[in-house]
Amino acid sequence: MTGANRGLGRHFARRLLERNFWGTLAVVRAFAPVLSANGGGAILNVLSAQSWHAYPGTNGYHASKAAHWALTKGVRLELAEQGTLVTGLHLGAVDTDFSAGYDGPKSDPGVTVRAGLDGIEAGEVEVIADAWRAHVKQALAGHPTRLSDEIRAGFV
């Protein structure tokens, strides 16, 4: 779970959990009362396809995003009665500073943001940002190694 094959230790994995799980929880706790006092609103949690699937060397990130996804689903249930929509935006690599070292395909940030905002306006609880993320989610219903096998075979 730590990305040990890349020399990453438990402190790195803990930082990822601190940011993606505990950080999100702190922000939700801070804003939920404000949203409630104003009759509701919306929260958009930026998730990742890696909340559903691990890639070699990224297991700490995967675990933190899986926890983030679980938190999003739970918070959605808790805040629904106050009129707050909680939407999860699942995306992959977006062309930002965060993914500067990644050489694969990247989504346009403006298109990704627009997908999230359009999803909120439509009342969606989940937004899948692109076709690859939709494929990854669909693969969840299949054999647990299906997606990994496709990646190894060069599907991506």
- The pLDDT tens digits for 2-23 are 444 455 577 888 999 999 999 9
Lowest-pLDDT range of 28-32, 85-89, 109-113: 109-113
CATH 3.40.50.720 fits 4-152, yes or no: yes
List, in order, residues 6 or more apart from 85 with CB less than 8 Å away: 40, 41, 42, 43, 76, 120, 123, 125
Q: For 103-113, what is the mean pLDDT?
A: 86
* Closest listed residue to residue 125, CA positions, set 152, 85, 91, 94: 85
The DSSP bridge partners found for residue 86 are 43
pTM beyond 0.85 = no
Upper half-sphere CA count for residue 76 (Cβ side, 13 Å):
17
Chain segment 28-80, per-residue pLDDT in tens: 999 999 999 999 999 999 998 888 887 777 788 889 999 999 999 999 999 99
